[in-house]
């Protein structure tokens, strides 16, 4: 099973643990990554994801993100198809980089901690990949 973690999911373990949801998601992500390392899941990356992580100003967060992405089994390159899909997703309200992530998610699940992306993705009729939170994703493995 292939999964695409967006930047906020990848970086969730480094977030301040001020809410129960953040604590639970911060624990879920290392579990998901452990399943990738054992071959039970396949991590998918993209050029958009690599770009965003490289732009992270905080060195610890950037290095952590790059380390996670180095474990990806495949990297989706930006091409005309991805860009056209991203433009369509942008027209329904996704920010440009979020739209690129969703358009690049050639996976069984797209995982995000961003409530705005989760909500907007529910309104995309022809979306081929389910958009889920880390907590929803781990429910699949119960």
Domain containing 60 — which CATH number? 3.40.50.1010
Q: What is the mean pLDDT of the chain?
A: 95
Q: What is the largest CA-CA distance in the chain?
A: 41
| pLDDT score for 139 | 92
At residue 142, does pLDDT exceed 80? no
pLDDT (average), residues 66-76? 97
Give the phi and the psi of residue 29 in degrees, each rounded to 5. Answer: -60, -50
Asked if pLDDT for residue 128 goes beyond 90, the answer is no
Q: How many domains does the chain have?
A: 1
State the residue range of the domain holding 102.
2-139
- What ranges make up the beta strands (E) of the chain? 2-5, 42-46, 74-76, 109-111, 131-132
Q: What is the mean pLDDT of residues 103-127?
A: 92
Residue 44 confidence (pLDDT):
98
- CA distance linking residue 97 with residue 83, whole number of Å: 11
């Amino acid at each position: 099973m292939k999964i695409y973690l967006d930047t906020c999911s990848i970086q969730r373990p480094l977030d301040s643990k001020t809410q129960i949801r953040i604590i639970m998601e911060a624990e879920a992500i290392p579990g998901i990554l452990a399943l990738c390392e054992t071959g039970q899941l396949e991590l998918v990356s993209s050029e958009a994801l690599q770009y965003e992580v490289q732009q992270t100003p905080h060195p610890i967060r950037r290095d952590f993100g790059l380390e996670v992405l180095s474990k990806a089994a495949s990297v989706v390159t930006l091409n005309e198809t991805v860009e056209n899909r991203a433009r369509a997703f942008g027209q329904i309200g996704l920010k440009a980089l979020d739209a690129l992530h969703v358009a690049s998610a050639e996976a069984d699940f797209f995982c995000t901690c961003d409530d705005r992306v989760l909500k907007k993705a529910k309104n995309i009729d022809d979306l081929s990949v389910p958009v889920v939170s880390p907590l929803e994703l781990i429910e699949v493995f119960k």
